[in-house]
């Protein structure tokens, strides 16, 4: 019987509930789905590839036919190497379409047999992106319901480390308003 393996490539910095929604949808139409994290030495990500892998592995442990991997170089080369027949990508809104179309057609040019399959995540995630999640978290806003709990926890840890690092420049000098921290640290 023919089994269809697909890859779901991306940066996942960090993975969001929108990604998880797409993974769930993809796992229903493909026999095997590999979530493939791009190792991009030119980018300066918030989370290391190892952290992103751990988060995605935890998020997808309930899916029997989903695995997580990392890759470098061209997506189509990686897909070919692991014998995947399709590339899964999400389209949230019309604004995604142009870039995704461009990528899909370039991938087809590079590897004519490789199909790109687009799926739409749930409408409630249509405004959600890793970039916005990073920004909101970094500025102290709530990202509850936008990312799985473990990702929220990891983001909080990152923000705490960043805060400690920033405060390290100004050693704990007591101020007149002693006891009242001026930090933006969120309550646990």
The residues that touch ligand PNS, with contacts defined as CB under 6 A, are 9-11, 38, 74-75, 103, 106-107
Lookup: tokens for 169? 């420049």
Q: Which is nearer to ligand PNS, 41 or 168 (CB)?
A: 41
CB 36 to ligand PNS: min, Å: 8
CB 90 to ligand PNS: min, Å: 9
Report which residue's Cβ sits closest to ligand PNS: 10
- The residue annotated as part of the active site, out of 19, 85, 89, 154, is 19
Cα 55-60-61 angle, rounded to 5 deg: 100
- The residue annotated as part of the active site, out of 27, 53, 89, 130, is 130
- The residue annotated as part of the active site, out of 43, 174, 182, 187, is 43
CB 40 to ligand PNS: min, Å: 7
- The residue annotated as part of the active site, out of 52, 85, 89, 92, is 92
β-bridge mates for residue 36, sequence order: 9, 69
Active site residue 130: yes
Q: Which is nearer to ligand PNS, 39 or 185 (CB)?
A: 39
Lookup: tokens for 67? 């695995």
Q: Which is nearer to ligand PNS, 82 or 103 (CB)?
A: 103
Active site residue 19: yes
Q: Which is nearer to ligand PNS, 9 or 26 (CB)?
A: 9
Q: Is the peptide bond before 50 cis (omega within 30 degrees of 0)?
A: no
- List active site positions: 19, 43, 92, 130
């Amino acid at each position: 019987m023919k089994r269809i393996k697909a890859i779901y490539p991306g940066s996942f910095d960090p993975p969001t509930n929108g990604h998880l929604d797409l993974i769930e949808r993809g796992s229903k139409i493909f026999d095997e789905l590999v979530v493939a994290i791009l190792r991009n030495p030119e980018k300066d990500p918030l989370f290391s590839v190892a952290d992103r892998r751990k988060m995605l592995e935890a998020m997808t442990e309930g899916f029997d036919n989903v695995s997580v991997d990392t890759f470098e170089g061209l997506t189509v080369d990686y897909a070919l190497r692991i014998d995947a027949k399709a590339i899964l990508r999400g389209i949230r809104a019309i604004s995604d379409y142009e870039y995704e179309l461009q990528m899909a057609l370039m991938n087809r040019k590079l590897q004519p047999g490789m199909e790109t399959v687009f799926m739409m995540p749930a409408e409630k995630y249509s405004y959600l992106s890793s970039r916005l999640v990073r920004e909101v978290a970094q500025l102290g806003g709530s990202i509850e319901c936008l990312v799985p709990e473990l990702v929220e926890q990891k983001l909080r840890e990152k923000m705490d480390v960043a805060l400690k690092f920033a405060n390290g420049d100004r050693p704990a000098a007591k101020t007149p308003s002693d006891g009242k921290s001026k930090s933006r640290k969120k309550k646990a």
